Amino acid sequence: MSSATTPRLANLARCHPRKLSPPAIRSRPTSSSSSASSSSAPPYPYPVYFLPAQPPSRTTALSFLSTTPSSSQQQPTAAAIIGWAKRKDITDLADITPAEFEANPAFEEVLHDVIKQNIDGDVGVQGLAAYQKLGYLNINDERTYAPFGRVSDPEDILGSCRLDDGKLVAGSYERMPTHRLFSFNGLFRLSEHLQDKLLERLRNGGGGGGGGGQ
């Protein structure tokens, strides 16, 4: 979105999702310690796996999937790689800094398409839309909390949706180009609803689309 077309942004305050325990498999999931540089941040609520990167120069790949659905020996498909950390032997998100993280554009495309197709089924967003009524509603990254009435930092805003009489306008979601998958506040976080939809898409190879809603 250019400065001429970017809509006025309104704040979105969201609750943190419940914590989920990673499954017991051979890949290395992130531990439950805090992510990034803030020791006061809550533990990351979803399993993240650290995998050998291809090419090796990228060192470590991050993914919400441990393997491809069809084989226990293969890495996730390219779109399922969140990004790459430029260090070896990483076992925790707290080991990574933003300067060492390279985002995967293919994953970002899938991420924002999943949000666009499924944001209207998010109960938290529905409630905020009903409260705000009109204008544009920010879809905030849940790795940070901003009180209602405050606008999050640009790197912590996933995008925005247009409202009409307290409801989301279908297909109006626009991604925020300044959002960062990994910031000093850690790895991006979605609501449970959106995370489930993202995992579903990634397990199907990352393609497709359509079929928004609940």
Give domain limits for the chain.
28-106, 109-203
The per-residue pLDDT for 126 is: 96
Mean pLDDT of 113-125: 97
pTM across the whole model? 0.76
Concatenating the DSSP letter of every residue in the chain gives: --TTTPPPP-----PPPPP-PPP--SSEE--SSBPTT-TTSPBPSS--EEEE-SSGGG-EEEES-SS-TT-SSSPPPGGGEEEEESSSS--SGGG--GGGEEE-HHHHHHHHHHHHHHGGG-HHHHHHHHHH-SEEEEEE-TTS---TT-PPPGGGEEEEEEEETTEEPTT--EE-TT--SEETTEE----HHHHHHHHHHHHTTS--------
| Band (40; pLDDT cuts 50, 70, 90) | low
pLDDT(182) > 70 = yes
Min mean pLDDT across 56-60, 97-101, 123-127, 150-154 is at 56-60
Q: How confident is the model at residue 75 (pLDDT cuts 50, 70, 90)?
A: low
* Structure-token pair, residue 160: 């925005």
pLDDT, position 151: 87
* Distance of alpha carbon 29 from alpha carbon 8, whole angstroms: 39
pLDDT of 134 higher than 90: yes
Q: What distance in Å separates the CA atoms of residue 122 and residue 204, rounded to the nearest whole number?
A: 21
Q: Give yes or no for a contact between 132 and 7, defined as CB atoms under 8 angstroms apart.
A: no
- The confidence band for 209, taking pLDDT boundaries of 50, 70 and 90, is low
**Of 47-61, 64-78, 127-141, 151-165, minimum mean pLDDT range:** 64-78
Q: In what order do the strands lie in the sheet with 81-85?
A: 28-29, 49-52, 60-63, 81-85, 101-103
Q: What is the pLDDT of residue 54?
A: 74
Nearest CA among 47, 40, 55, 1 for reference residue 25: 47
Whether residue 76 is predicted with pLDDT greater than 80 in this model: the reply is: no
Residue 78 pLDDT grade (very low, low, confident, very high; cuts 50, 70, 90): confident
- Phi and psi, residue 62, nearest 5°: -105, 140
Q: Decide if pLDDT at 17 tops 70.
A: no
Compute the distance between CA of residue 156 and CA of residue 78 in angstroms, rounded to an integer.
Answer: 24
C-alpha 191/C-alpha 199 separation (Å) is: 12
Tell me how far apart the alpha carbons of residues 54 and 73 are, in angstroms, rounded to a whole number: 15
Percentage with pLDDT > 70 across the chain: 71
- Residue 210's pLDDT band, with cuts at 50, 70 and 90, is very low
